[in-house]
């Protein structure tokens, strides 16, 4: 049973690393050509990497997909930290963060 759990942990880390690698390719190769488009902080690609690192490939991938679907030209945007991640901790430490990014909702204050 212990070997199975160890194997699943390795698979989980490997899948998360692969997904993060794909996001990094986007960040380095495609995003600079498109320019800043995300309406949220952290950006959708940074949110995705953080969610994958904090929550793993299944839950983190699901969180990232939901976030990307929310980010569109009609979205209000604003501050939307990864629950349990460093961006959420930064919201708690820097109450003036919302002044820098001028969110249209109080995401930092909700956490």
Q: Which long-range contacts (CB under 8 A, 24 or more apart) does 48-52 make?
A: 48/19, 48/23, 49/20, 49/23, 49/24, 50/82, 50/85, 50/86, 50/87, 51/82, 51/85, 52/16, 52/19, 52/20, 52/23
Token pair, residue 92, equals 């708690």
Q: What is the pLDDT of residues 38-93, one digit of tens each?
A: 999 999 999 999 999 999 999 999 999 999 999 998 998 889 999 999 988 888 77
In this structure, the chain runs to a length of: 111
Domain boundaries defined on the chain: 1-91
The model's pLDDT over 1-40, given as tens digits with 9 standing for 90+, comes to: 677 777 888 999 999 999 999 999 999 999 999 988 899 9
Structure confidence at residue 95 (pLDDT): 66
> Greater confidence, 103 or 29?
29
- CB burial of residue 79 (10 Å; 0-12, 13-18, 19+): buried
- Model pTM above 0.85: no
């Amino acid at each position: 049973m212990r070997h199975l759990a160890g194997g699943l942990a390795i698979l989980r880390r490997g899948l998360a690393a692969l997904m993060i690698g794909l996001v990094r390719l986007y960040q380095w190769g495609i995003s600079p050509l498109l320019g800043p488009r995300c309406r949220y902080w952290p950006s959708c690609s940074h949110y995705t990497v953080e969610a994958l690192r904090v929550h793993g490939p299944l839950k983190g991938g699901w969180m990232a997909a939901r976030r990307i679907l929310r980010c569109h030209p009609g979205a209000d945007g604003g501050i939307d930290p990864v629950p349990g991640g460093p961006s959420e901790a930064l919201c708690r430490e820097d109450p003036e963060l919302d002044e820098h990014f001028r969110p249209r909702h109080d995401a930092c204050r909700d956490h």
